Amino acid sequence: MRWLAMAGAAVLLASVLVTIISVTGRYGFGMPVPGDYELVEILCGVAVFLFFPYTHAAQGNITAEFFTAALPERYRVALDVFHDLVFALAAAILAWRLGHGFADKFASGETSIMIRIPLWWGYGVAVLSMGLVALVCLWRITRGIRALWR
């Protein structure tokens, strides 16, 4: 999964480079990158979805531990299991709905307005990432339940 996060970083870096080239071209030469807004928007969305699975597997998501920090570890593990259960359900629902969006965009052949990038591929990345997040949550749930039984 780490390779997905690395791919997300590469995609994010590509969006930064597009922005730099476009701004330099716009103000330096009067020639921005055509469709730069569309391209950066799509690339950033894809990057975010690529980061999700690894971030959750590595416990890198932001958590508010103000109320739970003083709890015994057993209760914190139980709360983590509950959180992962809810997150797995949310990720599965998102994957399902994004799958419908993917099918719709693929069937219609819808593209971005300016540079005509097919929109289905971004949905495809999102579906796979959310499905993987759901699987990561299930893996964390089994790990948490095992820890509770010890």
Residue of 1 and 32 predicted with greater confidence: 32
Residues 34-65: tens digit of each pLDDT: 999 999 999 999 999 999 999 999 988 877 77
First to last CA, the chain: 28
CA distances from 16 to 41, 87, 125 (A): 11, 30, 20
β partners of residue 118: 111
Structure tokens at 121: 């591929």
| Residues 6+ away with beta carbon under 8 Å from 5 | 50, 51, 53, 54, 55
Nearest-10 Cα torsion for 61, 63, 68, 74: -10
| Residues 6+ away with beta carbon under 8 Å from 132 | 1, 4, 52, 53
Residues 70-86: tens digit of each pLDDT: 889 999 999 999 999 99
- Chain position carrying tokens 């959750």: 56
Residues 85-133: tens digit of each pLDDT: 999 999 999 999 999 999 999 999 999 999 999 999 999 999 999 999 9
Coil, strand or helix at 118: strand
